[in-house]
Amino acid sequence: MRSAADPENSAEQQSDQGLRADAERNRDRILCAARRLYAAEGLDVSMASVAREAGVGKATLSRRFPTRDDLITAVFTDRMDAYAGAVAVALADPDPWHGFAAYIQAVCAMQAADRGFATVLTMSFPTAKALEKRRAEAYHGFLELIARAKATGHLREDFADQDMIILLMANAGVVAATADAAPNAWRRLVGHMLRAYSTPGTELPPLEPPPTPTALYRAMIRLNRSTSAGDVGRPVS
C-alpha cells in the first residue's frame, strides 16, 4: 500500500486537481460565452455557437450542460434572482402605487439590458426547475403588489396580471427592434403603459422623450434587415 507521501500518489492527486481546475475553467468559459451571445443575440443561439465562442468542443459543452435548458438555467439564475428580488423591493415600498410603477420600470430595464433575459421572461422552461421556481415566487409577489396598488385607487381595477406578460412581450419586441439605434425607446413604451394602467390624477414619472426620426429610421432599417435574414419572428428551438 502506498502512503499519502508516495510520489506516485502525489502525482495522481495533482493530476486530479488539474483536471478539476480545467473543468471549472471550461465551465466558466462556456457561461461567459453564453452570456455574451444571449445578451447580444437573444436565445436563438445554437449550442454549437456557444461552444465555438467559448473555444471548447461540443462534447465538452455537452458534458457540462447536457441540454439547452441546463445552460439557460446556469446563465440566468442570478438574473431571475434579481427579478424575484425586485418584487420584494416593490412590496417593501410604503407607497404601493410607487412600488408598482418602480417594479414595472425595473423589470423592463432588465429586459433592455439583456436580450436573452428579455426572452426568458416571456417563455416557460419546464425542465429548468430553478428558474421556474423563482418565476413562480415573483408571480405570487406581483399578485399581492397588484392588490395593494388597486387598494390605493391609483391602479385601474381592470388591470390584470396577464397585462404584465403582454407588456413584457411588447417590450422585448421594442428592445430587439431598436437596439443601439434608439436604446431608450423602451422607456417611452413603459411610460405610456403606466399611463394606461393608472387612474386619472395619479402621479406618474416623467415621460421619456420620443426617439428622433433619424433614430427610428435606423431602427426600422435594422429590423427590416434582421427580418430578411430570418432573425426576427423565428420560434426559439
pLDDT in tens, the chain (237 residues): 555 556 555 545 555 555 577 788 888 999 999 988 988 787 888 999 999 999 999 999 998 999 888 898 888 888 888 888 999 999 999 999 999 999 999 999 998 888 788 778 877 777 777 788 888 889 999 999 999 999 999 999 999 999 999 999 999 889 888 878 899 999 999 999 999 999 999 999 999 999 999 999 888 887 777 666 554 433 333
Residues 6 or more apart from 216 whose CB is under 8 A from it?
178, 181, 182, 185
The pLDDT, as a whole number, for residue 188 is: 96
What span, in angstroms and rounded, lies between the C-alpha atoms of 88 and 210? 31
Tally of CB atoms within 10 A around 135: 17
Burial of 120 (0-12, 13-18, 19+ CB in 10 A): buried
Could you tell me if 89 and 11 are in contact, meaning their C-beta atoms sit under 8 angstroms apart? Answer: no
Could you tell me if 54 and 33 are in contact, meaning their C-beta atoms sit under 8 angstroms apart? Answer: yes
Strand partners for 198: 155
Domains of the chain: 7-66 (1.10.10), 76-228 (1.10.357)
- Alpha helices, DSSP H, located in 93-161: 96-113, 115-120, 129-151
Instruction: Specify the DSSP class assigned to residue 198.
Output: B
The pLDDT, as a whole number, for residue 226 is: 67
Residues across the chain: 237
What span, in angstroms and rounded, lies between the C-alpha atoms of 125 and 196? 30
